Amino acid sequence: MRLAHKENKGRFVASIIISVCIFLVFAGALVKIQIIDGNAHATQGALATDTSEVKATRGQILDRNGTVLVGNRQGNDVVFDAAKFPSRSEQEERNKIIQALISLFEDNNAEWNDDLPIIITSDGKYAFAQDRDKDIEKLKSRDMLHLNKYATADDCMAELTEMYSLGDYSPESARKIASVCYGMKANAFNTANPYVFARDVSDEIVSVIKEKSSVFKGVDAEIVTYREYMDGTIAPHILGITGVISAEEYAELKNDGYDMDDIIGKTGIEKTFEKELKGTNGKKTVSTDNDGKQTVRLEGLKNGDNIVLTIDANLQKVAQDSLKAKCDELKTANSGGGAVVAMNCKTGEVLAIASYPSYDLTTYYDDYSKLAADNNSPLYNRALLSTYAPGSTAKVSTAIGCLEEGIINESSTRRCNYYYPFLGHRFVCQINHANRTLTVRTALQDSCNSFFYYYGGEKLGIEKMNMYRELLGLGQPTGIELGENTGVLDSPSYRASLGQTWQPGFSLQSAIGQAGNLFTPLQLCNYVSTVANGGTRYSVHIVKSILSADNSTTVLSKDPEVVTETGFKKKNIDLVKQGMRLVVTNGTCRKTFGKLDFPVACKTGTSQVDKVIGGVKSTYTNGFNISFAPYDDPEIAVAVVCEGAQSGGSVAPVACDIYNYYFKNMTSSEEDDEKEEDKEIENNTNLLG
């Protein structure tokens, strides 16, 4: 009996302890909820929140002096908000809104995004638009209309008409409404992904849409940024263009934070530095309490970085204008255009780089069809992508190779007899050299083929010749941040890759810049720059630095990068440079460069090109000029190429204009900057005691 009493007492005590513990747990939770977290819960219960994405502002592109070449301006996009726009089940209401919106735009002569690859012909029939094969294929695809490949434009419109309840509309109206509905489907229109009906819309149209919000249900305007150019004609091939992301680009970039309506870089710097320029989108959360007070929180937004280029905007314009004037002056049936590159000899920085013919970035999309159809290829960047047989400009490399190998020296001579006999063939020289005895300097001055046939083609040989050309950067990547053509350094192995046999005479032709050698204007400029500075080949660069959006932080700074120290003997480089100086003092460029206030050294060249026009073969020449200045302490090198020019001397005025601007404007300003820096350092030193 006593044992049972003890057991009951123990159970009672245990029950009390358990009850107390449970009470304490609930009491603690209640204290936490009502006292510790009370304010947070009260606020949470009283708040309405709205979260939206905030697009990062695209970074700017500036020249070396901080001049904004590509910036941003604000504009309006008209968009459909899926949360308010009629749903797919309310197609007829959708159609009415879309038709009213299209009418509004057409009444104001404004464009909207009409991407349907179907047109209505002059006889009122449907047809596929020309040159839209990819778009037509997508239209018929399984994800869109799910039609056979052989489906006609009529078949596609019949499917669209049924799909979007357009039977009561005229063919013209049905096609327009179908285009918008198709665009919504193609761009996965939903609450998380608004549909952009039109871009860069006027404030007047936006006002009408807002005033008639009951008519344009679910249609809204967003303030967005658009690219703005200081001058759309300045360096368009370098800066590049932006455009709406394509389906292929979106598939590749969607995991990197891109939306289906994003604007991305398509060419040039805009494309190469897309990641840096884009920035990171953020999220804006607007919280509203019971009293209507709003709190805005912005998270994760990082505007794009700014890209600072090495080019000088004013020098770039001088180069472009001079190149255009020269190409227009030379214009014949065989002339297509040209290119010019100016580079700092001591750093590898590109100061100006132009290709002609060219285009205007501000009207690129309006002019695209015309530009794409132009036989002279204005969209093509000749400075980086076109390759040319360099003609006699290659003799500089041949001379260096012969001197470095000890085949010739300062006193070596060769008598020119107009032609050079080799294995039963006659290789022609220039008639004005006949019966002259030449040294390496005068051979460069007069561009004697015979001299270089013998010492370069026969004595030096193709393997050693190419070794020195590689050191000088010919046929090699320059390192520039943009896409470039690496050209061709002709050789037995290259010919074998084409299924051809190397002939002995090819070495002679290569020695004077013919045979199969093909180099870009940029390579020619890097080549003469390496000679000018005494044998240091720098990696070419056109980006000087990358700055944060507010310019407060340097994200990346490009310092001069040495690719190769050639190790050429100073006396050999000096001999070659003396020969190039003679081209100016005694040779074909004395009238052009001789009038400048500072000494220039150069080498000219021409190369023959066979061209077939209308089934008729014709031969014309390209003109080249590579130069540097000042002769005693080179700062800048320039390479000019003009298609259809009869001589390298005739294109020298382009380089002359660049030198004139550079030495009258840029050097003085840079010296002033250095003085300011020295003064600031001195002041800081004095302050430090």
Looking at residue 296, its pLDDT comes to 79
How many domains does the chain divide into? 3
Closest CA to 172 of 74, 271, 106: 106
Domain match, 422 and 317 both: yes
Q: What is the mean pLDDT of residues 572-579?
A: 98
pLDDT class of 608 with cuts at 50, 70, 90: confident
Q: What is the mean pLDDT of residues 276-303?
A: 85
Round the average pLDDT of the chain to a whole number and report it: 89
Domain match, 388 and 291 both: no
pLDDT class of 207 with cuts at 50, 70, 90: very high
Q: What is the mean pLDDT of residues 647-670?
A: 88
Looking at residue 430, its pLDDT comes to 66
The per-residue pLDDT for range 627-646, each reduced to its tens digit, is 999 999 999 999 999 998 98
Cβ-based neighbour number of residue 446 at 10 Å: 22
Domain match, 49 and 127 both: no
pLDDT class of 487 with cuts at 50, 70, 90: very high
Looking at residue 68, its pLDDT comes to 97
Q: What is the mean pLDDT of residues 514-522?
A: 95
pLDDT reading at 525 higher than 70: yes
Q: Is residue 60 included in any domain, yes or no?
A: yes
Domain match, 317 and 305 both: no
164 vs 156: CA distance, rounded Å = 12
Q: Is residue 372 included in any domain, yes or no?
A: no
Question: 340: domain CATH number?
Answer: 3.40.710.10
Q: What is the mean pLDDT of residues 61-80?
A: 96
pLDDT reading at 677 higher than 90: no
Domain match, 353 and 432 both: yes
Looking at residue 323, its pLDDT comes to 97
- Range of lowest pLDDT (347-361, 419-433, 469-483): 419-433
The per-residue pLDDT for range 76-109, each reduced to its tens digit, is 999 999 989 999 999 999 999 999 999 999 999 9
Domain match, 157 and 256 both: no
- Distance separating the N- and C-terminal Cα atoms of the chain: 101
Q: Is residue 374 included in any domain, yes or no?
A: no
Domain match, 414 and 518 both: yes
Q: What is the mean pLDDT of residues 590-598?
A: 93
pLDDT reading at 48 higher than 80: no
Looking at residue 418, its pLDDT comes to 72
* Size (the chain), residues: 689
DSSP string, 184-208: HHHTT-BTTB-EEEEEEE-HHHHHH
More reliable by pLDDT, 11 or 559: 559
pLDDT reading at 46 higher than 70: no
Looking at residue 1, its pLDDT comes to 45
Q: Is residue 678 included in any domain, yes or no?
A: no
pLDDT class of 688 with cuts at 50, 70, 90: very low
Q: What is the mean pLDDT of residues 366-379?
A: 92
Closest CA to 457 of 510, 391, 421, 515: 510
pLDDT reading at 185 higher than 60: yes
The per-residue pLDDT for range 300-320, each reduced to its tens digit, is 899 999 999 999 999 999 999
pLDDT reading at 528 higher than 50: yes
- For residue 152, the enclosing domain spans 114-190
Q: What is the mean pLDDT of residues 264-273?
A: 97
128 vs 139: CA distance, rounded Å = 11
**Half-sphere exposure of 71 toward its Cβ, with a 13 Å CA cutoff?**
9
Q: Is residue 325 included in any domain, yes or no?
A: yes
Q: Is residue 688 included in any domain, yes or no?
A: no
The per-residue pLDDT for range 429-468, each reduced to its tens digit, is 765 556 788 999 999 999 999 999 999 999 999 999 999 9
CA dihedral 370, 372, 374, 379 (to 10 degrees): 110
Domain match, 291 and 384 both: no
pLDDT reading at 592 higher than 80: yes
Q: Percentage of residues in the chain with pLDDT exceeding 70?
A: 88
pLDDT class of 8 with cuts at 50, 70, 90: low
Domain match, 253 and 396 both: no
pLDDT reading at 33 higher than 60: no
Domain match, 587 and 652 both: yes
Three-state DSSP at 305 gives coil
pLDDT reading at 274 higher than 70: yes
More reliable by pLDDT, 268 or 18: 268
pTM of the model: 0.84
Return the structure tokens found at 576. Answer: 């070659």
Question: 63: domain CATH number?
Answer: 3.90.1310.10
Q: How far is CA 592 from CA 334, 447, 532, 560, 609, in A?
A: 25, 18, 20, 32, 26
Domain match, 235 and 146 both: no
328 vs 323: CA distance, rounded Å = 8
pLDDT reading at 43 higher than 50: no
Three-state DSSP at 41 gives helix
- Range of lowest pLDDT (72-76, 110-114, 138-142, 684-688): 684-688
Q: Is residue 373 included in any domain, yes or no?
A: no
Looking at residue 615, its pLDDT comes to 66
Domain match, 418 and 327 both: yes
Q: Is residue 246 included in any domain, yes or no?
A: yes
Q: What is the mean pLDDT of residues 42-51?
A: 61
Return the structure tokens found at 140. Answer: 């018929």
